[in-house]
A and B are shown apart, each in its own frame.
Chain A
Amino acid sequence: MTRDAASRRRWRDAPLALAMLAPSLVVLGAFVLYPLARAFWLGHQRCDPTGANCQSNGWDQYIDVFRSKEFQQAFGVTFRFALLTVPVGLALGIGLAVLADKQLRGMGFFRTVFSSTVATSVAVASLMWFFLLNPSVGVLADWIGGVAKNPGLLQDEGTALWAVAVSSIWANLGFTFIVVTAGLQSIPADLYESAYVDGAGGWMRFSNVTLPMLGPTLLFAGVVLTSRAFQSYGEFDLLTGGGPNGSTTSLTYLIYGNNSIIKNNSGLQAAVAVLLFAVLLVLSLLQIRGVERRVHYGN
């Protein structure tokens, strides 16, 4: 077959390919691409509170929003939140998964417990932590004392973000646990056996067999957890309402929150949302490109 014929044939197939892709294209277009384009357009406008009457405010609105005090502070909060939750969440997930990866009686019970937070909604998890940490009636407040009692971990500027992070780590632990457990089960047993024969101890086997073989899993979990951290909203809304004094106003809270000063300003909200999208895109690319080189995908 000549190249021409091949090319002709490809073109002949195009309508069929298009027809088969159409359903997903329509869905993608209507629910992802169109809203994204609209949000991008809206981000250079200023609208009245109903969002019906808009006029252009120049594309430099994006730059000014990025450089503004509020965006920079919210970006810092979000970045710190991700730095707090992702590494700790991953480490705890790996630890629990390795602990539960034993062929022992009753292990099913522990696996169920460790993965149970997957079935817990953000709202439920947040309310639970709200009452645990409540300075007046919370169980933890009397144990910890000090700032936990007055004004409370969620109401002190220095501790609020940490307290929200704890709740978020707990709520995401089930997800990490399940993903890592699946990763562990795909590691061939003969690798452990040969490591054992070579005289490797428990820690050596973990660091030289388990961790490298988990690479793809951890990359996946890391990217997902980072993007979740950047998009977390429920925790902030229910635990702190963006406070105290803006110390937990994340980018998503700046966009949606009831206590955001741009809550009825859809142009600025869209600008922040698009910038959050751009930041996440760059971050995910960096993570994947930077870490992928070190990831061992096996064969």
Chain B
Amino acid sequence: MSCKVRPALAGATLGCLLLAACGSGKSILEAGNEPRPTTAPVTTLPGQTTVPGQTTVPTAPPTTEPRPIDSLPPCDIAALDEAAADGPVEILFWHGMSNELGRELERIVGQFNAAQDRVEVRLEFQGGYEQTIDKYLQSDTDNRPDLVQMPEYTVQLMVDTQSNVPVQACMEDAGYDASGILPTALDAYATESIQWAMPFNVSNPVLYYNKKIFRDAGLDPEAPPLTLEQLGEYGRAIQSTGAATYGVAFDSAPDGGGGWFLEQWLAKEGEFYSDNDNGRSAPSTRVLFDGPTGVELLTGLQDVVATGGGVYVGENPSGTDAFLKLADASTPASMTISTSAALGSVLQFVEGGIIPGIGVEDLGVGPMPGPSGAPGTLIGGASLWITAGRGDAEAAAAFEFISYLVSPEIQSEWAAATGYVPVNAGAVELDPLRSVYTADPRFRVAYDQVAQTPDVPTSNGPVLGPLREVRVTAASAMAQIMNGADPQAALSDAAALANALIADYNSRRG
């Protein structure tokens, strides 16, 4: 055996030496890029720094005019009437809603199919958002569905596939009255003055906390912290009184505390995340999260953890680590920030009685705390996109189904069952949602956050082609900062990589 180990070790050492000698220290994104294959302008300059106050000034003049709707695939609503005369038009709908969410969607689709005989919707679960995106991107028109649900971070990616009938075309042709739809939810899916997709399921981050621990620590269980400063104070009070080991549990997941929340926090402070008005007046060329607001924000979060007000639970790849910290029997945390879409599942979990000492009534929900405590939120969740080139009747049928899904009645049922924010304001006045909101105000917190969002450009989140990848870079910075790194340095590194991702994406696009 010993004779076999030695060559293996020698090989390993040789391999390591070889690698060290081979390494260029450059990013994989630059591979083969001298000279760059396209002449796309790359506006990121070496050593570029963010000047304080620059965040509201676009760094490049808007280069895209509002896109004329006529230049995009049209929507012919009348085509459905003709086709439906010969029997129902079948459409395929891909979605990424798992577990209870998926079952509720199945129920609604069944209800729709039973209620009319013009459109027959076939529902296909793709395994999650990421899988839906991958499969949609890699398929050609024939293999794509007629209707697809896409998460909020894919707006630019979807627009660039040039594969959709914008819902605006259908809204115009059908004379659809969109006044009931929440304006901020609509705006999230509009760029270049085109309404690309219809919001369907809206969520945003909220604060989950343990009221029992608040009471034990002498804090008011009905007044959760609103600012980051209060978040730290509450946490330290909880720790010093021994009510719990930790205050707030932070994670650094790309779609949670590391990436998504950073977008939320900057928006709450009225700051853009990327240049050209978050990429909505022209394609973004660089991110702005390494500016003074971002640095101040993450320094504040670092302080909360460093001074005992909170605990860092890691990158939360499963999405459950931060919640499970509240259920920790020996060293629990008392608060965490997570998506409002989890509320239904969390309550169900608690109701099961698996966690000793926490009952359904002990779980409190408050607005997401921010640097200054300003209300408001960016639209999270997903929207519905109609695929072009699959037939006029199919596109019109998809729109008819969309209209059904976002109607006040269905949004009321959907939101009551899942905890999502209804995208139709009328849903709040209807049962079952009305009684849910009255009986359990915790479900209303996310809705109120949307309703209180100021109508300013920064309230529309960033649209970047590689937004998911950019979130990963921000999350990596967050992880380093939580482990004690210098916030400015970590954010600058992340921003440099994010800018390289944006430049690379823009050079590959079309």
Whether the pair B137, A155 counts as a contact (CB closer than 8 A) is: no
- Contact of B11 with A by CB under 8 A: yes
Contacts of A46 in B (CB 8 A): 32, 37, 507-508
Contact of A294 among B4, B479, B480, B510 (CB under 8 A): B4
- Contact of A211 with B by CB under 8 A: yes
Contacts of A50 in B (CB 8 A): 137-138, 161, 163
Contacts of A272 in B (CB 8 A): 28
Task: Encode contact with B along A269-282: 1 for CB under 8 Å, 0 otherwise.
Answer: 00110000000000
Q: Which of B275-283, B317-325, B372-380, B440-448 contacts A (4 or more CB under 8 A)?
A: B317-325
Whether the pair B31, A271 counts as a contact (CB closer than 8 A) is: yes
Closest to A82 in B: B12
Task: Encode contact with A along B325-366: 1 for CB under 8 Å, 0 otherwise.
Answer: 101111110000000000000000000000000000000000
Decide yes or no: A243 and B26 within 8 Å by CB, A136-B325, A263-B469 being known contacts: no
Whether the pair A261, B3 counts as a contact (CB closer than 8 A) is: no
Give Cα distance in the complex from A58 to B30, angstroms.
12
- Contact of B274 with A by CB under 8 A: no
Whether the pair B30, A49 counts as a contact (CB closer than 8 A) is: no
Contacts of A294 in B (CB 8 A): 3-4
Give Cα distance in the complex from A207 to B352, angstroms.
55
- Contact of B311 with A by CB under 8 A: yes
Task: Encode contact with A along B12-54: 1 for CB under 8 Å, 0 otherwise.
Answer: 1001100100111111111111000110000000000000000
Whether the pair B314, A268 counts as a contact (CB closer than 8 A) is: no
Closest to B7 in A: A290
Decide yes or no: A150 and B331 within 8 Å by CB, A50-B138, A76-B19 being known contacts: yes
Closest to B477 in A: A245
Whether the pair A262, B313 counts as a contact (CB closer than 8 A) is: no
Whether the pair B313, A155 counts as a contact (CB closer than 8 A) is: yes
- Contact of B472 with A by CB under 8 A: yes
Give Cα distance in the complex from A155 to B138, angstroms.
32
Give Cα distance in the complex from A142 to B27, angstroms.
40
Contacts of A51 in B (CB 8 A): 137-138
Contacts of B29 in A (CB 8 A): 261-262, 268
Give Cα distance in the complex from A76 to B20, angstroms.
10
Contacts of A79 in B (CB 8 A): 12, 15-16
Give Cα distance in the complex from A262 to B505, angstroms.
10
Contacts of A130 in B (CB 8 A): 318
Whether the pair A57, B510 counts as a contact (CB closer than 8 A) is: no
Give Cα distance in the complex from A259 to B324, angstroms.
22
Task: Encode contact with B along A140-176: 1 for CB under 8 Å, 0 otherwise.
Answer: 0010000001111011000000000000000000000
- Contact of B504 with A by CB under 8 A: yes
Give Cα distance in the complex from A262 to B508, angstroms.
12
Whether the pair A154, B468 counts as a contact (CB closer than 8 A) is: no
Whether the pair A68, B138 counts as a contact (CB closer than 8 A) is: no
Whether the pair B312, A151 counts as a contact (CB closer than 8 A) is: yes
Give Cα distance in the complex from A277 to B20, angstroms.
21
Q: How far is the CB of B403 from chain A (nearest CB, A)?
A: 29
Whether the pair A135, B313 counts as a contact (CB closer than 8 A) is: yes
Q: How far is the CB of A35 from chain B (nearest CB, A)?
A: 14
Give Cα distance in the complex from A246 to B315, angstroms.
11
Q: Name the interface residues of A54-94: CB closer than 8 Å to any CB of B.
A: 55-62, 64-72, 75-76, 79, 83, 87
Closest to A46 in B: B508
Contacts of A59 in B (CB 8 A): 32
Give Cα distance in the complex from A259 to B22, angstroms.
25
Q: Name the interface residues of A30-53: CB closer than 8 Å to any CB of B.
A: 44, 46-53
Contacts of A263 in B (CB 8 A): 468-469
Q: How far is the CB of B257 from chain A (nearest CB, A)?
A: 13
Contacts of A58 in B (CB 8 A): 32
Whether the pair A68, B324 counts as a contact (CB closer than 8 A) is: no
Give Cα distance in the complex from A141 to B214, angstroms.
26
Whether the pair A56, B317 counts as a contact (CB closer than 8 A) is: no
Whether the pair B31, A240 counts as a contact (CB closer than 8 A) is: no
Contacts of B480 in A (CB 8 A): 245
Task: Encode contact with A along B464-495: 1 for CB under 8 Å, 0 otherwise.
Answer: 01101100110110011000000000000000
Whether the pair B508, A48 counts as a contact (CB closer than 8 A) is: yes
Task: Encode contact with A along B278-316: 1 for CB under 8 Å, 0 otherwise.
Answer: 000000000000000000000000000000000111110
Q: In this complex, which of A51, A150, A258, A262 has the most chain B Cβ atoms within 10 angstroms of its Cβ?
A: A258
Whether the pair A57, B315 counts as a contact (CB closer than 8 A) is: no
Give Cα distance in the complex from A196 to B510, angstroms.
75
Contacts of A56 in B (CB 8 A): 37
Contacts of B329 in A (CB 8 A): 137, 142
Decide yes or no: A268 and B315 within 8 Å by CB, A79-B15, A259-B254 being known contacts: no
Contacts of B476 in A (CB 8 A): 245-246
Give Cα distance in the complex from A58 to B32, angstroms.
6
Contacts of A47 in B (CB 8 A): 508
Decide yes or no: A60 and B32 within 8 Å by CB, A152-B314, A243-B479, A264-B157 being known contacts: yes
Complex A-B: 5 CB contacts under 8 Å: A67-B24, A70-B28, A72-B23, A79-B12, A137-B327
**6 smallest beta-carbon distances between A and B, as pairs:** A155-B314, A61-B32, A241-B317, A64-B31, A67-B24, A68-B28
